[in-house]
């Protein structure tokens, strides 16, 4: 098993995108899986590394990365040590970060002997799942989509009752219960979404979606209700919906995750995802 961590790639908005690679180095070209984390997430959160290894053992080239403005830094990849960057994040920057990842995979620094770039899947978790829907729909370099506990729209947090206050103050603060930090969101997030409404319209992309798509959600998700998955599947009837009974938003994971074994709900998550991708290759 090859695990190469913290590859720093120049981003398009002044901050690097940091990559981890998980694959078996046997000279065989492998289907590529790119994992995009969610809001207040990062590539080294909890059990994502164990999940990456599980995919690699099944014959995939698994790449997980930190969005450039997720609040971590290359020096502190598991801590929100740059809250200003977090506050200045937006969907255009995350879209550009996925472009950076795809360009790196197609470039000279990637292990091309291990990559089948004609077989690329994007997996998105939570808010990253909503972004993955629109990005996969619009980008011919991505061939398949899997969403885990995904939001059904990217303006889900733009509540009318506090948009005016957010605009007037310029910042809305979100409490992170795990780290006990107040994390700023500058109003530019809303402005960026409004300026690019068609591009980031998840329901519209889902209604026009034509690529293989697996939707997985837990029915005990307290953060994003399972109705979000049902809405996505309703908008795209050709997608496949799998609901994991009693699974929460992170499918049994937590941070830090100290076990060397995946939680049962994540075992099901990986198994169903791998089966879906392998069936698409038949």
- Residue by residue, DSSP assigns 35-61 as EE--TT--TTSTTHHHHHHHHHHTT-E
The domains of the chain are located at 2-156+197-280
Q: What is the pLDDT of residues 136-163, one digit of tens each?
A: 999 999 999 999 999 999 999 999 998 9
CATH of region 2-156+197-280, choose from 3.40.50.300, 3.40.50.1820, 3.40.50.2000, 2.40.10.10: 3.40.50.1820
Residue with tokens 């889902």: 206
Q: Which two tokens stand for residue 225?
A: 């209700």
Percent of the chain with pLDDT over 70: 99
**pLDDT greater than 60 at residue 172:** yes
Q: What is the pLDDT of residues 16-30, one digit of tens each?
A: 999 999 999 999 999
Give pLDDT, residue 280: 83
Q: Yes or no: say if 250 and 46 are a contact pair by the CB < 8 Å rule.
A: yes
Give pLDDT, residue 281: 67
Q: What is the pLDDT of residues 176-232, one digit of tens each?
A: 999 999 999 999 999 999 999 899 999 999 999 999 999 999 999 999 999 999 999
Over residues 238-245, the mean pLDDT reads 98
**pLDDT greater than 60 at residue 122:** yes
Residue with tokens 């795209």: 236
Q: Which two tokens stand for residue 136?
A: 């996969």
Over residues 242-249, the mean pLDDT reads 98
pLDDT band for position 32 (cuts 50, 70, 90): very high
């Amino acid at each position: 098993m090859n695990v190469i961590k913290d590859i720093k790639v120049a981003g398009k908005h002044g901050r690097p995108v940091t990559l981890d690679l998980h694959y078996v180095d046997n000279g065989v070209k492998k289907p590529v899986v790119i994992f995009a984390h969610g809001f207040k997430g990062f590539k080294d959160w909890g059990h994502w590394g164990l999940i990456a290894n599980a995919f690699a053992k099944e014959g995939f080239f698994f790449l997980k990365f930190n969005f450039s403005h997720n609040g971590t830094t290359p020096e502190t990849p598991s801590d929100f040590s740059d809250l200003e960057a977090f506050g200045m994040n937006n969907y255009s920057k995350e879209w550009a970060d996925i472009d950076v990842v795809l360009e790196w995979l197609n470039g000279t620094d990637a292990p091309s002997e291990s990559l089948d770039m004609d077989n690329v899947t994007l997996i998105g978790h939570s808010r990253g799942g909503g972004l993955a829907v629109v990005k996969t729909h619009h980008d011919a370099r991505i061939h398949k989509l899997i969403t885990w506990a995904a939001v059904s729209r990217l303006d889900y947090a733009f509540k009318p009752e506090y948009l005016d206050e957010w605009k007037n103050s310029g910042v809305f603060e979100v409490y992170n219960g795990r780290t006990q930090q107040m994390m700023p969101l500058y109003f530019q997030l809303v402005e960026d979404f409004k300026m690019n409404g068609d591009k980031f319209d998840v329901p519209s992309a889902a209604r026009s979606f034509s690529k293989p798509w697996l939707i997985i959600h837990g029915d005990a998700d307290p953060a994003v209700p399972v109705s979000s998955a049902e809405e996505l599947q309703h908008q795209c009837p050709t997608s496949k919906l799998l609901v994991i009974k009693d699974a929460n938003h992170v499918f049994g994971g937590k941070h830090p995750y100290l076990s060397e074994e995946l939680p049962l709900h994540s075992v099901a998550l990986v198994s169903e995802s791998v089966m879906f991708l392998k069936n698409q290759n038949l």
